[in-house]
């Protein structure tokens, strides 16, 4: 396949970036998008040029590290997959493909296509966990019956890989789909209910402090999420947050 790539290059967070054109003459349709970039980087290095920086790790849709904005959409043209699961056969011979970083104030560019998503880590650290009793006499988890529909809903929320596509897709750069998935996976289960009020309060406050925008129910996040996280989680987070405000203000 012959392709023209317009790739965002930017030396660092302070430098001015630009779209640079690369013409590829012999792209293997069965290569993944990241393998195509690997090949391009190999050629750049052979020519003494600086390779393109981009994030990746597992390359199988589970780590959330890959983060490219391809032809105006996070993770490219298909639904339900991360960038690492996108293959070049999805494009046509002669296509021009625009490749940019995820853009959001709370995701500052580090270099080229790599952005700093540590804001997500700080939100998780603010409350995305359950405290575990390690006194030596913990209750057997299997002795707490959980309805299958509830367990399934918690599992669905827990599939969020923290990629940030929801933020990149949102006109407000809102992180509410991500945060609500992390709140929901715990709030739905008995083990998560003990700390639920402080968890949701701390996570929402950290989300706001990081500079993410608010949700205006556009739904682009749900469309672009590679893991099918749904807006119902945002509704649940808002409900949990209101309950927490009433509970905590009384205590
Ligand atoms: S909610 Fe979806 S798009 Fe957002 S971080 Fe999680 S997996 Fe990525
Ligand atoms: S590299 Fe891990 S999800 Fe894409």
pLDDT at res. 68: 97
Instruction: Tell me the pTM.
Output: 0.94
- Atom 7 in ligand 1: residue holding the nearest Cα: 160
Whole-number Å distance, alpha carbon 248 to ligand 2 midpoint, is 38
pLDDT at res. 250: 55
Ligand found nearest the CA of 170 = 1
Whole-number Å distance, alpha carbon 81 to ligand 2 midpoint, is 10
- Atom 3 in ligand 2: residue holding the nearest Cα: 61
- Map out the domains of the chain with their CATH numbers: 3-111 (3.10.20.30), 117-250 (1.10.1060.10)
pLDDT at res. 131: 87
Average pLDDT per consecutive 10 residues, the chain (251 residues; last block may be shorter): 98 97 98 98 98 98 97 97 98 98 98 98 96 74 89 97 98 98 96 93 98 96 98 97 84 51
Ligand found nearest the CA of 57 = 2
Considering only the C-alpha atoms of the chain, give the largest distance between any 2 of them, rounded to a whole number of Å: 67
Whole-number Å distance, alpha carbon 78 to ligand 2 midpoint, is 15
pLDDT at res. 143: 85
Mutate-to-test residue for ligand 1 from 229, 233, 237, highest number of ligand atoms within 8 A of CB: 229
């Amino acid at each position: 396949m012959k392709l023209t790539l317009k790739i965002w290059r930017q030396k660092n967070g302070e430098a001015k970036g630009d779209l640079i054109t690369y013409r590829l003459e012999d792209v293997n349709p069965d290569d993944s998008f990241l393998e195509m970039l690997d090949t391009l980087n190999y050629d750049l290095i052979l020519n003494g040029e600086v390779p393109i920086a981009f994030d990746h790790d597992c390359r199988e849709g589970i780590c959330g590290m890959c983060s490219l904005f391809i032809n105006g959409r996070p993770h490219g043209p298909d639904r339900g997959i991360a960038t690492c699961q996108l293959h070049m056969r999805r494009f046509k011979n002669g296509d021009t493909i625009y490749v940019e970083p995820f853009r959001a104030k709370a995701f500052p560019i580090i270099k080229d296509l790599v952005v700093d998503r540590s804001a997500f880590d700080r939100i998780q650290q603010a409350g995305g966990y359950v405290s575990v009793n390690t006194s030596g006499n913990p209750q057997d988890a299997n002795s707490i019956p959980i309805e299958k529909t509830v367990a399934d809903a918690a599992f669905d929320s827990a599939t969020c890989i923290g990629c940030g596509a929801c933020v990149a897709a949102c006109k407000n750069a809102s992180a509410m789909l991500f945060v609500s998935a992390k709140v929901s996976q715990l709030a739905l289960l008995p083990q998560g209910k003990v700390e639920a009020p402080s968890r949701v309060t701390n996570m929402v406050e950290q989300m706001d402090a990081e500079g993410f925008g608010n949700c205006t129910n556009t739904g682009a996040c749900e469309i672009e999420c590679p893991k099918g996280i749904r807006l119902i989680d945002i509704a649940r987070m808002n409900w949990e947050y209101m309950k927490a405000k009433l509970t905590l203000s009384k205590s």
